């Protein structure tokens, strides 16, 4: 058995891998965001990589490629990866084969892959004589891929209801304003928007606020197009708004009701859906019990942020260990 890396070094490496993966949250759908780190025998980080987009190299392959480029592959003692390496041929080769061929002898894994088509990687690596360390910083790794895990286990998108309430409990901004929350709260809201695949709103919100629904306050993912599902039974949203949304990088589509919108978004493979709507539609979503997480920003000095989970839905992580930074892109 080869020399073991101390647990604290493995944890530091896994946290670094998670941080790298979070940079790409929202960019990798339908794949999960995954990060990987290479360590030498003393636990020193040699290289860091992540999966950037579906169809491109997975985190493990990108990391091994980076080590080869830097002539560091021979120094790699342990590969740390946030998610079990895949064991199937998709648009890219199985990561298990890439790891085996690279001659890596130790692999530390954050959490198992919830996708049955991609699982079996741990067993494959063990069969090849590779030593496996399971469950390193597992809760952080599970929260990193919450939307992906929920979609894989239920076939439904992870839905977050985002609201902002003023000091009187109203969602309506003062005349002439579009918001009443702090810059930090706005940054949080736009990080939620950055990682989502689709936004659901109502015609009333559009007619009153003329919202852009673009990502600001943080850097957006280049070339990403999100679906904008608009509940507009009476077809009140003007064509000018729809054309403008299209020009801003959104794919707007009109629906008569929420059920129709969610069915369509699910069929399109949307894993992460953000509800950004007025009081009526937001309450209807709460009443539907289809939501998974709610984020409520309360105006204050400073603002207060309440995050709740729908206890009727199966969470892919332990709610008591939830940390919002583990689920948001940088």
Q: Are 145 and 33 in contact (CB under 8 A)?
A: yes
**117 confidence band (pLDDT: 50, 70, 90):** confident
Give the pLDDT confidence score for residue 2 in this predicted structure: 61
> pLDDT grade, residue 89 (50/70/90)?
low
Query: Which tens digit of pLDDT belongs to each residue from 35-82?
Result: 999 999 999 999 999 999 999 999 999 999 999 999 999 999 999 999
Rg, the chain, Cα only: 21
- Residue 1's pLDDT band, with cuts at 50, 70 and 90, is very low
Instruction: Tell me how many degrees the CA angle 7-94-65 measures, rounded to the nearest 5.
Output: 70
How confident is the model at residue 330, as a pLDDT?
84
Q: What is the mean pLDDT of residues 126-144?
A: 97
60 assigned to active site: yes
Region 200-204 average pLDDT? 97
Domains and CATH numbers, the chain: 7-144 (3.40.140.10), 153-320 (3.40.430.10)
Q: Of the candidates 140, 150, 118, which has an alpha carbon nearest to the alpha carbon of residue 22?
A: 140
**DSSP code for 130:** -
Half-sphere exposure of 263 (CA within 13 A, CB side): 6
DSSP result, 290-308? ---EEEEEEPSSS-EEEEE
pLDDT of residue 10: 97
Q: What is the mean pLDDT of residues 271-284?
A: 96
Catalytic residue among 12, 56, 60, 123: 60
What's the average model confidence in pLDDT over 103-130?
92
Is the separation of the CB atoms in 184 and 298 below 8 Å?
Answer: no
Region for residue 57 given its phi and psi (left: phi exceeds 0; alpha: psi -120 to 50; beta: otherwise): beta
Has residue 116 got a pLDDT over 60?
yes
The rounded percent of the chain whose pLDDT value lies above 70 is 98
∠ CA 184-185-191 to the nearest 5 degrees? Answer: 90
Residues 193/274, Cβ–Cβ less than 8 Å: yes
pLDDT at position 142 over 90: yes
* CA terminus-to-terminus distance, the chain: 38
- Packed helices 258-267 and 279-288: angle between N→C axes, nearest 10 degrees: 70
């Amino acid at each position: 058995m080869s020399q073991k890396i101390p647990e604290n070094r493995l944890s530091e490496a896994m946290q670094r891998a998670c941080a790298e993966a979070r940079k790409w949250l929202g960019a990798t759908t339908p794949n999960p965001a995954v990060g990987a780190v290479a360590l030498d025998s003393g636990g020193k980080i040699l290289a860091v990589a992540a999966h950037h987009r579906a169809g491109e190299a997975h985190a493990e392959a990108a990391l091994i490629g980076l080590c080869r480029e830097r002539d560091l592959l021979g120094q790699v003692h342990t590969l740390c990866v946030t998610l079990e390496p895949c064991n199937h041929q998709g648009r890219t080769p199985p990561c298990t084969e890439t790891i085996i061929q690279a001659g890596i002898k130790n692999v530390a894994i954050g959490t198992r892959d919830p996708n049955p088509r991609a699982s079996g990687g741990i067993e494959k690596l063990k069969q090849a004589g590779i030593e496996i360390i399971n469950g390193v910083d597992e809760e952080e790794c599970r929260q990193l891929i919450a939307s992906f895990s929920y979609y894989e286990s239920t076939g439904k998108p992870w839905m977050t209801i985002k609201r902002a309430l003023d000091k009187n409990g109203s969602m309506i901004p003062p005349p002439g304003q579009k918001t009443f929350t702090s810059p930090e709260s706005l940054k949080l809201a736009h990080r939620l928007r950055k990682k989502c695949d689709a936004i659901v709103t109502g015609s009333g919100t559009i007619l009153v606020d003329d919202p852009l629904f673009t990502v600001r306050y943080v850097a957006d993912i280049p070339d990403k197009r999100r679906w904008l599902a608009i509940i507009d039974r009476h077809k009140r949203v003007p064509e000018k708004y729809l054309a403008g949304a299209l020009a801003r990088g959104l794919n707007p589509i009109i629906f008569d009701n929420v059920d129709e919108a969610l069915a369509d978004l699910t069929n399109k493979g949307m894993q992460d859906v953000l509800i950004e709507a007025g009081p009526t539609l937001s309450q209807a979503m709460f009443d539907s019990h289809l939501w998974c997480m709610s984020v409520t920003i309360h105006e204050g000095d400073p603002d207060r942020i309440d995050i709740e989970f729908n206890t009727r839905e199966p969470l892919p992580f332990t709610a008591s260990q939830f940390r919002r930074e583990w689920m948001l892109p940088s």
